[in-house]
Amino acid sequence: MAKIFEELEPIFHPRSMALIGASDKPGKVGRMFMDRFLDTGFQTLYPVNPGANEVLGLKAYPSVKDIPGPVDLAFVVLPPKAVLETVRDCVSKGVKGIIINSAGFGETGEGGKEVEREMARIAREGGARIIGPNCVGIYCPSSKLTFPMGPGKDSGSVGVVSQSGSLADHLTLIATHNGIKFSKAVSCGNECDLNAVDFFEYLGEDPETEIIVSYLEGIKDGRKFNHLIRAISKRKPIILWKCGEGEAGIRAAASHTGALAGAAPVWKGVLNGAGIVRVNSLEEILDTLYAFYFQPLPKRNRIGIISGPGGPAVGTTDACLSMGLEVPRLSEETKEKIRKVIPPAGTSFENPVDLSLASIVDKRIFSEVIRTLGREESIDMLLIIGIGGKEFHEIIAATTKDIDKPVAVSFIMPLETVVEDSKMYIESGIPLYSDPLRAAKALAKMAHYSEFRQG
Please report whether residue 215 would count as binding its own copies according to CB under 8 A. Answer: yes
| Residue closest to 352 by CA, chosen among 324, 328, 319 | 328
State which residue, 204 or 436, has the beta carbon closest to its own copies: 436
Stretch of 58-66, 192-200, 241-249, 270-278 contacting its own copies, by CB under 8 A? 241-249
CB atoms closer than 10 angstroms to residue 50? 9
Distance CA 145, CA 370 (A): 43
Q: Which of 298, 291, 239, 275 is nearest to 438 (CA)?
A: 291
Interaction between residue 352 and its own copies (CB under 8 A) = yes
| Contacting residue, 80, 94, 296, 389, with its own copies by CB under 8 A | 80
The smaller minimum CB distance to its own copies, of residues 59 and 364, is found at 364
- The identity of residue 252, as a single letter, is A
Does residue 314 interact with its own copies by CB under 8 A? Answer: yes
Least distance (Å) from its own copies to the CB of residue 366?
15
Integer Cα distance of 65 and 92 in angstroms: 7
Residues 37-66 close enough to bind its own copies by CB under 8 A: none
Bridge partner residues of 278 (DSSP): 240
Query: Contacting its own copies (CB under 8 A), which of 117, 121, 177, 340?
Result: 177
Q: Which is nearer to its own copies, 68 or 79 (CB)?
A: 79
Does residue 289 sit in helix, strand or coil?
helix
The contact mask relative to its own copies for 391-420 (x = CB under 8 A, - = no) is ---------------------xxxxx-xx-
Q: Is residue 251 close enough to count as binding its own copies by CB under 8 A?
A: yes
146-162: string of b/e by CB count within 10 Å (b at 16+)? bbbbbbbeeebbbbbbb
Region 424-453 residues binding its own copies, contact defined as CB under 8 A: 434-438
Cβ closest to its own copies, residue 236 vs residue 423: 423
Q: Which stretch binds its own copies (CB under 8 A): 230-238, 244-252, 363-371, 391-399?
A: 244-252
In the list 246, 269, 273, 324, the residue contacting its own copies (rule: CB under 8 A) is: 246
378 touches its own copies (CB under 8 A): no
Interacting span for its own copies (CB under 8 A) from 172-180, 230-238, 270-278, 401-409: 172-180
CB of 437 to its own copies, least distance (A): 4
116 is a contact residue toward its own copies (CB under 8 A):
no
H or E element in which residue 326 lies: none
Q: Mind giving me the DSSP string for 380-403?
A: -EEEEEE---HHHHHHHHHHHTT-
Smallest gap from Cβ 34 to its own copies, in A, equals 15
Q: Are 195 and 182 in contact (CB under 8 A)?
A: no
Query: Does 82 sit near its own copies (CB under 8 A)?
Result: no
DSSP, collapsed to helix, strand or coil, labels residue 165 as helix
Q: Does 1 bind its own copies (CB under 8 A)?
A: no
Cα–Cα distance for residue pair 425/180, rounded to 1 Å? 12
Least distance to its own copies, CB of residue 14, Å: 24
Q: How many residues does the chain have?
A: 455
Our finding on whether 363 is near its own copies (CB under 8 A) is: no
Cβ distance to its own copies smaller for residue 29 or 58: 29
Judged by beta carbon, residue 93 or residue 335, the one nearer its own copies is: 335
Collect all residues with Cβ–Cβ distance below 8 Å to 70 and sequence separation of at least 6: 15, 16, 94
Confirm or reject binding of residue 260 to its own copies (CB under 8 A): no
Contact flag: residue 265 with its own copies (CB under 8 A): no
Q: What's the rounded Cα separation, in Å, for the pair 213 and 240? A: 6
Q: Is 342 in the site for its own copies (CB under 8 A)?
A: no
Closest approach of Cβ 256 to its own copies, in Å? Answer: 5
Q: Among residues 346, 364, 390, 398, which is the contact residue for its own copies, using CB under 8 A?
A: 346
Candidate list 217, 271, 372, 448; residue touching its own copies; CB under 8 A: 217
Distance from C-alpha of 194 to C-alpha of 152, rounded to nearest angstrom: 25
- Contact between 375 and its own copies (CB under 8 A)? no
> 218: burial class by Cβ within 10 Å (0-12, 13-18, 19+)?
buried
Q: Is 330 helix (H, G, I), strand (E, B) or coil?
A: coil
Site residue total, its own copies (CB under 8 A): 77
Q: Can you tell me which of 58, 282, 323, 397 binds its own copies, judged by CB under 8 A?
A: 282
Closest Cα partner for 187 from 150, 134, 228, 240?
134
| Distance, CA of 133 to CA of 362 (rounded, Å) | 58
Query: Between 80 and 374, whose beta carbon lies closer to its own copies?
Result: 80
2 binds its own copies (CB under 8 A): no
Which residues make beta-bridge pairs with 241?
A: 215, 279
φ, ψ of residue 133 in degrees (nearest 5): -70, -175
Q: Quote the CA–CA distance of 309 and 47 in Å, as a whole number.
A: 59
**Which residue, 372 or 422, is less far from its own copies as judged by CB?**
422
